[in-house]
Amino acid sequence: MLVLPLIALVLHGALAGLFYAFSMSVMPALNAVEPAQAETVMRSVNKKILNPWLYVAFLGAPVAALVAGLFADGPAAVWFFAAAGVNFVGSFVVTVAINVPMNNAVDAGTMPWREYSPRWTAWNTVRAAASLAGLALVGVGLAWL
């Protein structure tokens, strides 16, 4: 069954691209403007990013890898399970435990940009790396099918 692993691969790639783009372009661009402007834009981003397409990739990547692992045999299953685990810890847990609370603090005006940006970007880069690792793990799993 190739469909689930391919879906997992695409979703991991989409998620990795999203996180990578934020760390490499969006956050540096926001750091180049006045902090009040950056906070205003980030508040808007925090609202607009919560849409079905985000959830498809964010929740779908680890679930698709997990389900692919359940249907796979031998080494492929191990690689798919590893991808699901890396994505869950490095993307989902980091997002829920760190990035979202920081977003909420910026939205509430309780965390200034100078504190928010470097910390948020560092943890976002962890999410990008975890998503890229998940992408690679799914790719290796595909090679075992």
| Res. 138: pLDDT tops 90 | yes
Q: What is the pLDDT of residue 66?
A: 98
- Chain segment 18-64, per-residue pLDDT in tens: 999 999 999 999 999 999 999 999 999 999 999 999 999 999 999 99
Q: What is the mean pLDDT of residues 10-23?
A: 98
98, burial (CB in 10 Å: exposed 0-12, middle 13-18, buried 19+)? middle
Residues 132 and 91: their CA atoms lie apart, in Å, by 10
* Among 82, 85, 89, 72, residue whose Cα is nearest residue 145: 72
Answer yes or no: is pLDDT of 1 > 90: no
Predicted TM-score (pTM) of the model is 0.95
As a whole number of Å, the CA-based R_g of the chain is: 16
Whole-number pLDDT of residue 115 = 98
Do 133 and 28 meet the contact criterion of CB atoms below 8 Å apart?
no
Q: CA angle, 10 as apex, 28 and 85 as ends, to 5°? A: 85
Given this model, what pLDDT does residue 22 score?
98
The pLDDT of residue 21 is 98
Round to whole Å and give the CA distance between 144 and 138: 10
User: pLDDT by residue (tens digit) across 71-107?
Assistant: 999 999 999 999 999 999 999 999 999 999 999 999 9
